[in-house]
């Protein structure tokens, strides 16, 4: 955490993004597998089974992309409990978020650039464009 003064703090947040691949028993999933899959993830619950099957095609696997880390780990547990073979690939991303100590919350994106620039200038630090 980097501090410029008593009001603004730039905090490092690590965000985990993930992708899950579900492996079916054969290249074309059985209707029973698709029905068992649907309750595992909110995005699949109301999806037409034929659309899920078309997404799998002849690959025997379904990729579920761009999940938040905790959501992905929960989905992986649900899939395994439902009897599916699945793999997870994660990626951690560092984000730097300015926080205002006065309000104990993050600055709105449109505010933080202006406020942070003012704080740096007022602290006597040089800014480069």
Rounded Cα–Cα distance for residues 122 and 22 (Å): 54
**3-class SS at 30?**
coil
Q: Is the pLDDT of residue 128 over 60?
A: no
Spelled out in words, what is the top-level CATH class assigned to the domain 14-92?
Answer: alpha beta
Q: Where are the domains of the chain?
A: 2-13+96-122, 14-92
- The pLDDT tens digits of the residues spanning 78-126 come to 999 999 999 999 999 887 777 777 777 766 666 666 666 677 667 766 5
**3-class SS at 129?**
coil
Q: What is the pTM of this model?
A: 0.69
Q: What is the pLDDT of residue 1?
A: 47
């Amino acid at each position: 955490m980097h501090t410029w003064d008593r009001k603004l703090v730039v905090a490092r947040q690590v965000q985990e993004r993930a992708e899950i691949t579900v492996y079916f028993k054969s290249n074309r999933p059985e209707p029973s597998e698709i029905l068992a899959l649907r309750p595992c993830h909110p995005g699949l619950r109301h999806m037409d089974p034929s659309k899920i099957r078309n997404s799998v095609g002849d690959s025997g696997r379904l990729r579920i992309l761009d999940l938040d880390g905790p959501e992905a780990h929960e989905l992986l547990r649900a899939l395994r409990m439902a009897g599916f073979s699945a793999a997870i690939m994660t990626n951690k991303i560092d984000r730097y978020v300015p926080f205002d100590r006065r309000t104990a919350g993050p600055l709105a994106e449109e505010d933080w650039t202006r406020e942070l620039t003012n704080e740096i200038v007022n602290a006597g630090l040089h800014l480069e464009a």
